[in-house]
Amino acid sequence: MLGEGIVKGMVETARNFFGSYVSKDRLTTVQFPEERLPSIEATRDFPFLVYDGEDWQAGMRCVACQICEKECPPKCIYIEKSKDKKADAVGKPQFYPAVFNIDVSVCMSCQICVEVCPFEAIKMDNEFELSTDDRFEGLLWDKARLSKPNAHYQNIHPTDAAASDAILAEEKAKAEAKTKAAADPKSNATLASALQTASSTQ
Amino acid sequence: MGDAADQFFVNLLHRAVGTLPAGLRPILSSLISVVAILSVFAFLFAVTTVLERKGLGRIQNRYGPNRVGPLGFLQPIADGIKSLTKEDIVPHSADRVVHFLAPLVLVFAAFSLYAVLPIGRNMVLADLNAGVLFFFAVSSVMELTIFMAGWSSRNKYSLLGAMRAIAQMISYEVPLILSSVTVVMAAGSLSTVDIVERQAGYTGFFPHWFVFTPWGFAGFLLFLIAATAESNRSPFDLPEGESEIVAGYYTEYSGFKFALFFLGEYLGLFAISGLGITLFLGGWAAPFSFLTWVPSYLWFFAKLILLIALFIWVRGTLPRLRMDQLMNFAWKFMLPMALLNLVTTAVWHFLAQGVVRWVVCILMIVVAYVLLGRSLMHGSRLEKRVYRFAE
C-alpha cells in the first residue's frame, strides 16, 4: 500500500535514534583523540633500532652491514660505518654504525629493511602521531632517536619479538658452542664439532 | 493560580506598557511584542540547527556536533561567527540590488508570518479577521524571494534551482491551501484566533481538535506533506539539492546572506508548523481536560517542538524526490485527495453526530487513498528487460 515503505523506514530510523543511546552497535563512533581503537599487533609505521640491555650504544644489535640501506626503495636510510668494533648481540666483535639516519618523511613503511636484516636489529614501530613543526630536522631521525629497547619490541609485537629472541638465542648458543669447541686443544672433538656446525648451517 | 501563569506575559506586557506615555502605548505595545517574537523564534532557530544536526547524527549512527559548549549546544554561536566573518562575494554581473534584497525580504516575510499565530491565550500579535489568508499571502512572498535570488545571481544553475523551487512551491501551495480550507469551513472563520477557540473545548477528556476527525486527520497529513515541500525540506529539497547543483538558488551567496537564507527557511518552517498547529492541533489548547492548568504558550511550543522533531525524523529517513516524482505526487495524488477531503468535510458537517458519519467519512478517505495509491504505483513494477537488436 502507498506509504507502507515510508512508515517502515521511519520505524527503522527511530530505532536507530533511540538505540544509539543504549547500544554500542548503533553508535560506532570512536572519538579520537580521547578514545582510541585498540592497536593491532601487525601494525607497522616507521622503523626503530633494537638494543639489548640498559646501554643503547653498547647493546645495539646493528652491525652496519648496510644491507637495509641498499634494499630501501626510497633510499631513506643513511649509514656510516664506525672505525672500531664492539660486541654484537651474539657476542662477536663487529663494526657498528657511527651514523644511522632515517628520513621518516621519505620512509614508506614497506618493511623491506626489517625483512632483509640478518641481525634482528631493525624492526617496525607503531607510533604514528609524529607531527612536528621543524621542517628540516624534525623528521630526520638519528640513531639515538631510533634506538629503543628490546622490551619495547616485546611489548608492541609479542609474537614477532618471541620469534626474534628465539633466533638470537639459537645463534648465541651456536656461537658459544663454537668458541667452547675452539677453546679445547686440537682433537677429534674439534673436527667433529666443526663438521656439525658446517652441516647445521647448511 | 493557573490563570496567572497562563497570562503571565500578557500581564507583563500591560504593566510595561502602562509605564509609558499614553499616546504611544499602542505602537510601543506592538513593538515590544515584535521584539519578543523576534528573539524567541531566533533563539528557537539556533537551538533547532544544533538539535537537527545531533538528531540526524544519532539517526545515522554517529554523534552530532558535541565539541562546542556542553554537548555541543553553543555550536550556533560558532556557526554565527563563521558566517559573519566570511567574505561577502557578489558576482560581477549579478544584479546587485535584487541580490542584496532577496535574503532580506525572505527574512522579513518569514517573520511577518508570526503576526497571526496565536501563541497562547490572548497572545496573538494581530487578531486579523482574515488571518489564514494573510498567512498564505505572505508565504507567497517567500516564494518570490527565492526567484529573486536565483534570477539576480546571473548563474544558470541558480536560475535552474530557482525555477525548480518555484515550480515545487506553487504545486504544493494548492493542496496546502485546500487542506486549510477544510478547517476554515469547519470553523466558519478565517481568523486564527477563532479557529483555536473552536478547538478549545472538551467532551469528557478528549479535546475538540480538528485532527481527531477523519477529514482533519487526512487534512493534517496533507498539510504536513505540503508544508515540507513549501519549506524546501527533505525529501523535497531538490531545489537546494546539495549534491547536485551545488546549493541551487543560493549558490552565489556567501557569509551572512547565506545565513539569512538559512534563517528565513527555518523560520518559514516554524511558521508553517505553527499554522498547522493552529488549524489542526488546537493551537494553545491542552490535549486533555485535566491538563489545562499548564500555561497555554507551553502547549503551543511543545507541539511546535514535536512537529520540528517530526520534520527532522522525516529528513533523516527519506531520500530526495526527483523533480518529476515530486510534481506527479503533488498534482496526481495530493490534489485529488485534498479535493476529496473538502467533500468529506462537508459530508461530516451535514451528517448527524454519531457512528454513521465516522464510518462514512473514514470509508471515503481510506478507499480513495488505497485506490489512488494503487493506480499511482501501477507503473513501478520492474519487468524483465526486452532487447531488440537491429537485424
Give burial (CB, 10 Å; 0-12/13-18/19+) of A75. Answer: exposed
Q: What is the pLDDT of residue B377?
A: 79
Element (H, E) at A102: strand A93-103
- Concatenate the DSSP letters of all residues of A31-53 into one string: -TTTS-PPPPTT---SEEEEE-S
| Diameter of chain B measured on Cα atoms | 94
Q: A74: buried, middle or exposed (CB in 10 Å: 19+, 13-18, 0-12)?
A: exposed
pLDDT in tens, A100-133: 999 999 999 999 999 999 999 999 999 888 999 9
Contact A27 B55 (CB under 8 A): no
Cβ of residue B378 closer than 8 Å to a chain A Cβ = no
In a domain, A161, yes or no: yes
| Residue A122 belongs to a domain | yes
Residue to test with chain A: of B60, B317, B325, most A Cβ within 10 A: B317
Q: Is residue A12 part of a domain?
A: no
Residue in chain B closest to A13 (alpha carbons) equals B59
Is A192 a member of any domain?
no
pLDDT of residue B1: 45
Burial class (CB in 10 A: 0-12, 13-18, 19+), B232: buried
The arithmetic mean of pLDDT across residues A145-169, rounded, is: 94
- Cell representation of residue A129: 602521531
What pLDDT is attached to residue B249?
73
**Are B61 and A31 within 8 A, CB to CB?**
no
A54-90 tens-digit pLDDT: 999 989 999 999 999 999 999 999 999 999 988 888 8
Beta-carbon separation of B59 and A29 below 8 A? no
Looking at residue A202, the DSSP 8-state letter turns out to be: -
pTM tops 0.90:
no
pLDDT at A174 over 70: yes
β-strand pairing of B206-207 with A47-51: unpaired
Decide if A13 and B59 are in contact by the 8 Å CB cutoff: yes
Contact status of B379 with chain A (Cβ, < 8 Å): no
Distance from C-alpha of B266 to C-alpha of B62, rounded to nearest angstrom: 24
Rounded to whole angstroms, the Cα distance separating B56 from B54 reads 6
Which residues of A fall within a CB distance of 8 Å from B313? 10, 13-14, 17
B374 in contact with A at a CB cutoff of 8 Å? yes
- CATH for A84: 3.30.70.3270
- CB-hemisphere CA count at 13 Å for B227? 27
Total domain count, chain A: 1
How many helices (H) and strands (E) would you count in chain B? Answer: 14, 2
Residue A151 domain-assigned (yes or no): yes
Sorted by sequence, the CB contacts under 8 Å of residue B42 that are 6+ apart come out as B263
Q: Say whether pLDDT at A196 is over 70.
A: no
Q: Do B318 and A29 touch (CB under 8 A)?
A: no
State residue B247's pLDDT score: 57
Instruction: Report chain A residues touching chain B, CB-CB < 8 A.
Output: 1-3, 6, 9-10, 12-14, 16-17, 20-21, 26-29, 31
In a domain, A29, yes or no: no
- As for the ipTM of the complex, it is 0.84
In this predicted model, what pLDDT tens digit does every residue of B290-339 receive, in sequence order? Answer: 888 899 999 999 999 999 999 999 999 999 888 888 899 999 999 999 99
Please, are residues B341 and B215 in contact by the beta-carbon 8 Å criterion?
Answer: yes
Query: Does A200 score more than 70 pLDDT?
Result: no
Q: From the CB of residue A125, how many other CB atoms can be counted at a distance below 10 Å?
A: 19
Domain range spanning residue A108? 54-127+136-169
Packing angle, helices B75-85 and B256-279, rounded to 10: 130
Query: Inter-chain contact A13–B55, Cβ cutoff 8 Å?
Result: no
What was the pLDDT predicted at B244? 58
- Cell 531566533 -> residue: B42
What's A74's DSSP letter? T
Q: What is the pLDDT along chain B (391 residues), one digit of tens a residue?
A: 458 888 999 999 999 888 888 888 889 999 999 999 999 999 999 999 999 999 999 999 999 898 888 988 999 999 999 999 998 888 888 888 999 999 999 999 999 999 999 998 888 999 999 999 999 999 999 989 988 888 888 878 778 888 888 999 999 999 999 999 999 999 999 999 999 999 988 888 888 899 999 999 999 999 999 999 998 887 888 776 655 556 567 777 788 888 998 899 999 999 999 999 999 999 999 998 888 889 999 999 999 999 999 999 999 999 988 888 889 999 999 999 999 999 999 999 999 888 999 999 999 999 999 999 888 877 667 778 888 888 7
Instruction: State whether B373 and A6 contact (CB < 8 Å).
Output: no
